[in-house]
Amino acid sequence: MTSRVSFAPQNLQKMYEQVEREHESKKLIVLLERVKKQIAAREDPAYKVESPKPPAVVLNVQSSSMRPPSLPFLSKA
């Protein structure tokens, strides 16, 4: 039989707060790196920076011009 370890509520709260701080720190580090790359790209045009993906093209097709797919197994009913 395994024994379960139960933490006191205040310990859980402290652990949760620590995890939140670490997560926020990681987000700040990523943001700082992104800003550094942007600054480097502005100062040196030859600096290669990955550009974001272009927006997806949305096709505007009217419903009257669309033809439903042919489903041969349904036409034999």
Please report the pLDDT score of residue 62 as a whole number.
Answer: 55
> What parts of the chain have a pLDDT lower than 70?
1-2, 6-8, 47-77
How many other CB atoms are found less than 10 A from the CB of residue 41? 14
CA nearest to 11, candidates 21, 19, 1:
19
Please report the pLDDT score of residue 35 as a whole number.
Answer: 95
